[in-house]
Structure 1
Amino acid sequence: MRDSALIRKAVVADAEAISAVHVSSKQATYRGLVPASILSELSAPQANADRQERWRKVLASDEVDVFVAELDGQVVGFVSSGTTHDNEGLQKATGEIYAIYVSSDQQRAGIGRKLIGAALRGLEKRGFSEATLWTALPSARSFYEAVGFRLDGAEKVSPLVPGYYVQVTDVRYRCNLANKAVETDR
């Protein structure tokens, strides 16, 4: 599996597939952290329609890079990145990985590493010299560290699932894009 995933720039027609991966991955990853009733609401018809519309808008814009991983013509993961949302004067030099999700049955197969690599290349092409990302998931930390990100000490409280009162503490990771120690397929 490791070498069979195709990574490509997402297009507007990918909105439905990205939304499906987003929901199924969140439901698997956040099980035990978020009440089951909230996780099941993520796949409700109106929630899906709203999410797909948001993805169509993102994919039609040139402000965010979105890459998908495909196996046998099916989207099994995605990553999105762009200018950091942090308000610390980092915007000029810093890009941010906003989201990365891989279908639960494809995790630990190298797809996340390839997606991170695509996002970091995209950020470099946009002229950024460093990248950040935020996570509340202890299980994701070893992955981010393995690909070269390091904790920088910043923390924030945010909703784990927007629109629902399930608050978590996110920690920020950072990497220097010129540092070739970042372990992806860049």
Structure 2
Amino acid sequence: MQIREAGLKDAPGIAKVHVDNWISTYNDVFPAHVFETWTYENREERWKKSLPKAVSGGTMTYVAEEEGEIAAFALAGTTRDARLRMRYTGEFYGIYVHPDFQRQGLGRKLMESCAEHLASQGHKRAALWVIENNKEQPFFEKMGGEVVYEAPVEIGGNNYKNIAYGWEDVQRLLNHEKLN
């Protein structure tokens, strides 16, 4: 398994992971109509437009590749949410592992790569948003994240909670410390 910086050529693979991960993670949470726009083609076009920004200006996107196939990806950079920015200047924008590759350590490796990037940008603390009932919440807790904020979010006409996890010391992720 190789972890490397993403490039524009990775848009189709990232799109596939993104769609399959979201459907697997939220299929039992969101109403079916939410996934109508979650097609490989739609996400690939979005990634082709956004990927140049997702690898510049302090933001970085990494992919985990297995035999030429994108198995997972993660993004990190400066915190976007003003409510968190005072304390958490860095943000893990998302960690997405294809369902076929979950439970193999890719999420941890990608999170470590993102933490290294955040530290290189001077960020000592970081946060990550997840939508309530995300089945991967225990992973973020195992990685040392603590719930630090909750905010309402509307998706598909329904109200949910957006939960922010915070890491007080990004360096712990870099040192590969055993967490929890």
1:165 is matched with 157
**Are the aligned partners of 2:88 and 2:127 in contact in 1 as well (CA < 8 Å)?**
no
Look up the SS of the partner of 1:178 in the other structure.
helix
**Are the aligned partners of 1:148 and 1:181 in contact in 2 as well (CA < 8 Å)?**
no
TM-score, reference length from structure 1: 0.83
2:100 to 105, 108, 117: 105
**Are the aligned partners of 1:15 and 1:55 in contact in 2 as well (CA < 8 Å)?**
no
Q: CA deviation at 1:181?
A: 7.1
| 1:142 maps to amino acid | P
2:70 is matched with 75
Q: Does 1:55 align with 2:47?
A: no
Deviations 1:85-123 (A, max 9, x none): 121473686200111110011111111111111110110
Can you give the 5+ residue segments of structure 1 that lack an aligned partner in the other structure?
none
Q: Give the whole-Å Cα distance in 2 for the aligned partners of 1:49 and 1:26.
A: 14
Q: Does 1:147 align with 2:143?
A: yes
Deviations 1:45-84 (A, max 9, x none): 4x23542333333345333110111111110110001100
Q: Does 1:96 align with 2:91?
A: yes
Look up the SS of the partner of 1:16 in the other structure.
helix
Q: Give the whole-Å Cα distance in 2 for the aligned partners of 1:103 and 1:85.
A: 25
Q: Give the whole-Å Cα distance in 1 for the aligned partners of 2:79 and 2:2.
A: 27
Q: Does 1:11 align with 2:7?
A: yes
Q: Quote the RMSD (CA, aligned, Å).
A: 2.3
Q: Give the whole-Å Cα distance in 1 for the aligned partners of 2:170 and 2:55.
A: 26
Can you give the 5+ residue segments of structure 2 that lack an aligned partner in the other structure?
none
| 2:128 maps to amino acid | L
Deviations 1:24-47 (A, max 9, x none): 1111111111122321431174x2
Aligned length: 175
| 2:59 maps to amino acid | V
The verdict on how the C-alpha distance between 1:166 and 1:75 changes in structure 2, with shifts beyond 3 A counting, is farther
TM-score, reference length from structure 2: 0.85
Q: Give the whole-Å Cα distance in 2 for the aligned partners of 1:66 and 1:73.
A: 17
Q: Give the whole-Å Cα distance in 2 for the aligned partners of 1:52 and 1:117.
A: 23
